[in-house]
Structure 1
């Protein structure tokens, strides 16, 4: 992919002030430009745009005292080294998934997604009010990095299949592309997990080396043209209920900022999270309608016995990972599980019960 940089800021606040008839504010002489690596490339729905939008927010809020140059994932070298680059100060920021660093411990999985775990809105409750953010800060502290919530890849589909899954027997020998803990779940079901890059899915299917796959959700799947491979899209995802996106910042550079600039970055990240969540859901709603109307895709639901079996397997895997985890990672998982239990008990009385009530057989006004 052609190297592209986006320097965002230059004059946004001053221009806006002049146009409104108010004098431009006095600008500090200590202007600086940081760089931010974006995990997602051009063409991936919403996420490169979200990185640029986050950069614009910071520049505008700071009256260009801090401008952000947005880099593609591999501009500085292999993306997998990005956390180390932020840690050592080679680059100031990255918009990434904590899951990307999962080889360092189970705690990094937890802050992106867990099987049968928290939804995106539930994760905010955990982070903001049930101790999650302090644990997240502590996880990254030894690396000299400060994490923030800054978006989502949204809830995903369970995957794409040649025919609907109606029986657990269909997983026997099924060659299924997935990632992370999902691979362990498929293996326990009798399937053959395949870990493949998105670009390798099509060639593997054409070579008769893959029977089914999961990727992201409708908007991304259409954009990457993977919907053409199989006619059935299954829901719900059990592995990736939501994929929280992080903004990670070099801690030394963060600590050296004036207090007001730190507040602006934190506020901009949370504003971007709010906007990106809505954007991703809206995109998936529109894409799901297209899958049905334009491409004739069959949308099917996993049977309850399959979901129950996957839940049982997930529980065993999480118990094992917890027992093997370092104390700081075990503390993160324990906090997550405690939050999940408390939030679930409340939501079952409110949002879940309400959602079920909307499916009851009564007439409701339709759009004109």
Structure 2
């Protein structure tokens, strides 16, 4: 072939390819607009902020082609109705805690945290690499949703108490703002669990309608001012050792997304997850110091209370698993994975952290 003819043919080929490629690229980058409702007020700038970061990352990665508008709790639906809104297509996705829907099926607790479940690292490792995501999404499919990892608060605190709690007997008759699976565990120990929205906690404690309340951790708790009416601050929140937050996505909308949009959305969730954990690690130490300076009194739950709570939680796990095959399968998977993980943590991680904590300048 002559050079002139080669250039001519090649030029036609390139032009032809460009003619074909331009529409193909346009088709692979469709303009999509979604709405994401969250379970959080905007004042929870770390949890709600993670949802906003996820949406922003998706928009930036697609040059604005895939836009997600974020709505706080109550702007479209109440915070505890996010799953319903996603399931029925009111919104395309939501940012929430799976255990809020424990009342629909106890298996929902595994998408966030079970009492005496694993810490944040092991919980998300189980979700990502231990089979958790597949098991959960097979369960969520029954509700027309799928999930992506989208946050973690890390280990939470045990809550605020008007009086000191030293023994298991001190828990009997205690009106405690705590819900879901943890509420049923505390009920076994004699507590009277109460479910209240965040904005209702302070007045209920102030009036004596409740005796104690758990929220999140120092940074978020300080904003509610609970130390002013219930000064005794306990740790750890054994019901939330490392609670995951998930992006719940309408299954039909998810399946209709181009594959690369699905990948971008998933990676945006990982970004929000990593940022949220780093943010809480940054702000909780300062939050705790502010609370202590403001009169809060820090206590560890006593060993007898911890052991009694652990025993009650395990009993409840077994009771629910006996009548719920999905719960049983998730419990066995998570327990096996986290037990193996803690055997490794005991070798290096725990020993190192304990040493460094003893020598930290506090």
**TM-score in same-fold range (> 0.5):** yes
Q: How does 1:1-368 map to 2 (within 5 A)?
A: 30-293=30-293, 295-325=294-324, 327-358=325-356
- Give the 3 Å change call, closer, same or farther, for CA 304–88 of structure 1 in structure 2: same
CA-CA distance at 1:75 after TM superposition? 2.7
Between the aligned partners of 1:269 and 1:146, the Cα distance in structure 2 is: 13
- Is 350-359 or 39-48 further displaced after alignment? 350-359
1:104 and 1:162 map into 2 onto residues whose CA distance is 32
Residue aligning to 1:11: none
- How many residues are aligned here? 337
Deviation at 1:281, TM superposition (A): 2.3
Bigger Rg, structure 1 or 2: 2
* SS of the residue 1:160 aligns to: strand
Shift of 1:312: 0.7
Q: TM-score, normalised by structure 2?
A: 0.87
SS of structure 2 residue aligned to 1:273: helix
- Aligned equivalents of 1:239 and 1:365: distance in 2? 27
Structure 1 position 359, deviation (Å) = 5.2
* Cα deviation digits, residues 155-186 of structure 1 (max 9, x gap): 21111123432222222222222111222222
Rounded to whole Å, the distance in 2 between the matches of 1:297 and 1:73 is 29
From the superposition, tell whether residues 292 and 77 of structure 1 become closer, same or farther in structure 2 (CA, over 3 Å): closer
Deviations 1:307-348 (A, max 9, x none): 1111111110111111121x2332112111111221121112
- The Cα shift of 1:192 comes to 2.4
The structure where helix makes up a greater share of residues is 2
230 and 365 in structure 1: CA distance in 2 versus 1, 3 angstrom threshold: closer
CA-based RMSD = 2.0
Shift of the alpha carbon at 1:304?
A: 1.1
Q: 4+ residue stretches of structure 1 with deviation over 6 A? A: 26-29
Residues 298/83 of structure 1: CA separation in 2 closer, same or farther (3 Å cut): same
CA distance in 1, matches of 2:230, 2:85: 39
Gapped runs of 5+ residues in structure 1?
A: 1-25
User: By how many angstroms is 1:103 displaced?
Assistant: 1.8
Contact 2:172–2:191, Cα closer than 8 Å, also in 1: yes
Q: 1:195 to 1:89 in 2, by over 3 A?
A: closer
Once the two structures are superposed, what CA deviation does each residue of 1:277-308 show, in whole Å capped at 9, x if it has no partner? 11122221210111123x03111111111111
Q: Please say if residues 127 and 133 of structure 2, whose CA atoms lie closer than 8 Å, have aligned partners that are also in contact.
A: yes
> What is the CA–CA distance in structure 2 between the aligned matches of 1:210 and 1:80, rounded to whole Å?
21
Gaps of 5+ in 2: 1-24
SS in 1 for 2:193: strand
